[in-house]
Chains A and B, each alone.
Chain A
Amino acid sequence: MREPLELLALYDALGPAERAEVEHALRDNPALADAFQRWRSLRAAVRRELAEALPDRALLVLYALSDEALPDEAAPHTADALSVNEHRRLAAARGDLRALLAKHPGLVDAVRRIRDDRDAFERIWATHTERNGQADAPRPSPARADDRPAVLSRRPVRRRSPVWRVAALASVVAFAAILTFIVRRDAGWETVRVAETTTVDLPDGSTAELAANTWLMVPDADGSDLRQARLRAGRALFTVRHDPADPFTVETPNALVTVLGTTFGLDVTDVETEVVLVTGAVALASRAETDAPVRLEPGQRSRVLALEAPSAPARADLDAALDWTGDVFVPSESLARMALRLSEAFAVDIEVDPTLADEELSATHFEREAGARAALDELALALSARVAELPEGGFRIEAEP
């Protein structure tokens, strides 16, 4: 175990367990806590000063790529990768940058590091272009390479006449064009693309029902972390095996969904992720700010557009959002209202015992193909009630005698 002072000094590089240890130690030692607070203040002040002095890190890159000599360099750097406009931009900031470099030795090291990065890029470029004969041989698109058959267990799902929504964002077109190149099969991941609505068994025991043309990546069954998936595009309804000690995560192109065991729907494009939560709890965050999630309650929806923060959770129309599954979704509400929804969904009369009408039930969903009786039996079970068939047709949920 590391000594306490080292843990405090390197707090920024600690894992959760060590941080908990530090925080516990600080509670018992106010003097140390005070010193630690000052240490953190100092570090934050350094960070703020650097950020204020150099709000645009691109300038540091331009400086590194220019022919400017660093304070301790005898000869100027000769390679110059800048355009005319970039030279002008740099010229306007040159005086300030020189002063900054004189004051902050860390920035000088950063400039050197960027020049190392540049050299590494040029070496890799040369290697690739030589190996590929100027890279002129057409290679199969990585996206197409992803289309190999997946090895996961799949179950085609009933019916389907999905109602597709037309994406309205013009920028999607540009993103879609470029993203065709960047998709490649990562080691340790299986890619699933389905032509019709299909339920996929995930390696950890959870399931994902995928709409047609959805593109999902799941970890190999022999991988070390099975509690994750990547939804690249399309719509999916996840039913996640409950394990609060090991949250399941779904990564989309622009968002991160952390799941504690629940049923939720995702609608994903390159630049937009929408979550509707049926049961349980999920946390949704932009991938640009994974430490600032919003937490959804059952029956709520939230959306991440591009790399913006998630929208405030709002009441979702579960039935509309998950219409493509063909199932019947109901939010948390009284038995009377739930029965009314089921009556409309299954086109059948449903009566409710007045003594049960105000009983609140949590959000849930029912397979339409299983029929009204199966749905009502589930509700009755939750209330320790029973379902009776009416002589004239239909059903009645009544209290057990």
Chain B
Amino acid sequence: MASFDPQTVVQAQRGDDAAREQLLGALDPILHAFFRSRIGRNSQVDDLVQNTLIRVHRGLIDLQQPERLKAFAMKAALFELQDYYRGRYTAREALFDPDRPPADPSSMDTAGLRLDLEKAMTVLTDHARRIIELRELGYPYAEIAEMLDTTEAAVKMQVKRAFERLRDALTVVLLALSAGLML
């Protein structure tokens, strides 16, 4: 009997250990190949496969159409991949800890200097904004470059320019403040 035959799925749902072993054993190399194709030969591929199989194992009983196992396993893998990007596997670099006080609190609390997100984002180009959003969604720069059909160096250059624009905008604000033009 084929591993992904609906009958095998039904037997696994009914608690047949051999059918479940056959099913999950057949999924294992597919998931390894899939995750390696998405994140490379990363040491966390094993974890992604493990947790995807756990998702499949736990959710199998609720799969109402056994012939849709492929879609079912694919969704489990895609959910797990999003968890990976979100940072559940490796504590992603904390760009900013909101509970951590700034290096110089007095400089941050000066009236008028707290740029809100909307104003700050207007300083950035649409392209830079896309890159920053993708980065904050957890995608590495190399993958962002692939998504935007460009090179990693070009993506990083955009980020650097965004930082420069923000710094320049801040300088204008500071000058305006010191001249009493804004308060």
Contact = CB atoms under 8 A, between A and B. Distances in A.
Interface of A: 5-6, 8-13, 26, 30, 33-35, 37-50, 57-58, 60-61, 64-65, 81-83, 86, 104-107, 109-110, 112-114, 117-118, 120-122, 124-125, 127-129, 132-136, 138-139, 141-142, 174-175, 177-182, 184, 186, 253, 287-292
A82 B85 CA distance: 22
Nearest to A64: B78
Contacts of B85: 57
A118 B78 contact: yes
B103 A124 contact: no
B25 A113 contact: no
B132 A61 contact: no
Contacts of A177: 17, 20, 57
Contacts of B47: 287
A112 B147 contact: yes
A106 B79 contact: no
18 contacts: A9-B159, A9-B163, A38-B166, A40-B95, A81-B74, A107-B133, A109-B134, A117-B77, A121-B74, A121-B78, A124-B30, A125-B74, A129-B4, A136-B3, A177-B57, A178-B54, A181-B21, A288-B88
A344 B88 CA distance: 48
Nearest to A41: B96
B183 interface: no
B94 to A, nearest CB: 8
Contact of B50 (A48, A114, A179): A179
Contacts of B160: 5-6, 9-10
Contacts of B141: 10, 13
Given A105-B126, A128-B29, A288-B88, A35 B4 contact: no
A241 B62 CA distance: 50
B34 A181 contact: no
A387 B83 CA distance: 60
B47 to A, nearest CB: 7
B175 to A, nearest CB: 12
A61 B79 contact: yes
Contact of B133 (A44, A46, A129): A46
Contacts of A122: 70, 74
A118 B79 CA distance: 11
A56 to B, nearest CB: 10
B127 to A, nearest CB: 9
Contact of B91 (A41, A181, A186, A291): A291
A65 B75 contact: yes
B154 interface: no
B176 interface: no
Given A37-B102, A42-B115, 15 more contacts: A9-B164, A13-B93, A34-B170, A40-B96, A43-B136, A46-B136, A106-B137, A109-B148, A113-B147, A122-B70, A174-B58, A175-B54, A178-B54, A182-B53, A291-B94
B contact face: mostly helix, strand, loop, or mixed: helix
Contacts of A121: 34, 74, 77-78
Secondary structure dominating the interface of A: helix
Nearest to B152: A13
B46 A61 contact: no
Contact of A134 (B4, B82, B130, B163): B4
Given A120-B38, A125-B70, A135 B103 contact: no
A336 B113 CA distance: 65
A182 B103 contact: no
Given A106-B129, A107-B133, A182-B46, A135 B26 contact: yes
Nearest to A80: B71
Interface string B81-123: 1110110111101111010001110011000000101001100
A180 B27 CA distance: 13
A57 B133 CA distance: 14
Contacts of B32: 184
B81 A117 contact: yes
A188 to B, nearest CB: 10
A179 B24 CA distance: 10
B33 A124 contact: yes
Contacts of B24: 178, 181-182
A344 B50 CA distance: 46
B163 to A, nearest CB: 4
Contact of B134 (A30, A35, A65, A110): A110
Contacts of B3: 132, 134-136
Contacts of B64: 83
A134 B30 contact: no
A57 B81 CA distance: 10
A65 B79 CA distance: 12
Interface string B1-35: 11111000000000001001110111111101110
Nearest to B77: A121
**Shortest 8 CB-CB contacts between residues of A and residues of B:** A106-B133, A44-B96, A9-B163, A291-B91, A81-B71, A136-B2, A134-B2, A47-B136
Given A6-B156, A10-B156, A81-B74, A184 B28 contact: yes
B37 A120 contact: yes
Nearest to A60: B82
Nearest to A290: B91
